[in-house]
Amino acid sequence: MAERKVITDAQFRARICKALREVWQGTTRADFIRDIRRTNRGHTSYRFIVRCVDCDEEFGQSERRYGVKVDGSRTKKMKLAYQVDHVNGIHPLKTLDDLSQHAEDLFHGKQQILCLECHNKKTFKK
């Protein structure tokens, strides 16, 4: 009989956060992007565009770029050129009692589009 592996509370909460975020990315996040994107009338190859609320830069909905690390160097992998940011943040999941508020903030909190640079500035400011 296989031995059961015991996980810590922190590992359990991390798995819950990951599962919730994956659901959010496929539902609420996708709906938000679909609602705010605009049809591209320019000469780029992207059919839809989104705009950073801080710097007004426009991005193709599927545009990918290299990220910039805190030290200014470039990341190894490309990622979306923008992030969906939760304006008021997400309540941290420190205990299972926080689960309801965490999920409420994740799925129903106010969201906005920020480019990678503006998102990093906001994140590191906190």
> Per residue in 47-83, pLDDT tens?
899 999 999 999 999 999 887 777 888 889 998 899 9
The pLDDT of residue 91:
92
- On whether residue 3 sits in a domain, the answer given is no
Whether pTM exceeds 0.85: no
The pLDDT of residue 126:
67
Q: How many domains does the chain contain in total?
A: 1
Domain that holds residue 118: 9-125
- On whether residue 1 sits in a domain, the answer given is no
- How many angstroms from the chain centroid is the CA of residue 69? 17
The residue ranges of the chain whose pLDDT is under 50 are none
The pLDDT of residue 43:
65
The pLDDT of residue 67:
79
Return the ∠ at Cα 18 (arms to 12 and 19), rounded to 5°. 90
- On whether residue 2 sits in a domain, the answer given is no
